[in-house]
Structure 1
Amino acid sequence: MLSDLFPRLRDLARMTPILLAGLIASAVIAMLAPQQIGVTLYKLSLVTLAAWLGYWIDRGLFPYARPHRMHSHSQTEPARFSFATIRRAVIVAAAMIAVGLGA
């Protein structure tokens, strides 16, 4: 249980600068244009839901080609994992961009 905690803390620490930048940007928006906080939260919720939807679209379209199942320790087919991971990233990004541009 304790060994599971360290990778999670490391992952949290890796994203801390991004979180801080977002919080600072939100504070600046709140000070300069407080009427835009609602719009900002609305956009954030749309993009977050689009990421979730993109993930599930990928799972639905490719049920037998999930990245964690494609990981191979063999040197002969190392690209299977890479292609599945890139495919999922492209689908999620496309969903996020589509929702972001449409709102």
Structure 2
Amino acid sequence: MFGWLVLAVLLTALTYTLAPQQLPVSVYKLSLVATAAVVGYWIDRAMYPYARPDALLDIAGGADHMTLCVLMTGATLRRALIVSATMLAVGLGA
């Protein structure tokens, strides 16, 4: 992740050098996308309060390993889709 951080800082510096008036716009858009990620996470938690990926470990009880893997994979993919759809909707201005 350090490489991506360095790249982001370099691109921000390049943006500041080429078009300093665009820097507030970039910060605004980044804050919108970051806020959308948090909102998407909380939408998932509100819609599926008993199907959180980490909660499935507690309620698994006597379930076998394969069933637990399928349930956790489904819950994780569901959360990723909800968060990404929220970020996409905000990013597109919907």
TM tier, smaller: 0.7 to 0.9
In the TM superposition, residue 38 of structure 1 has moved relative to its aligned partner by: 0.4
For residues 63-93 of structure 1, the C-alpha deviation after alignment (integer angstroms, 9 at most, x for no partner) is 0000111246832311100110110011000
Tell me the matched-pair count. Answer: 89
Equivalent runs, 1:1-103 vs 2, <5 Å: 15-71=1-57, 74-77=64-67, 78-102=69-93
Which stretch of the first structure deviates more once superposed, 37-46 or 18-27?
18-27
The Cα offsets for residues 26-75 of structure 1, whole Å up to 9 and x where unpaired, read as 11101111110000000001000000000000000000000111246832
Unmatched segments (≥5 aa) in structure 1: 1-14
Structure 2 residues without counterparts, runs of 5 or longer: none
RMSD: 1.6
Deviation at 1:98, TM superposition (A): 0.3
Amino acid in the other structure paired with 1:99: V
Query: Which structure has the higher relative contact order (CA within 8 Å, separation 6+)?
Result: 2
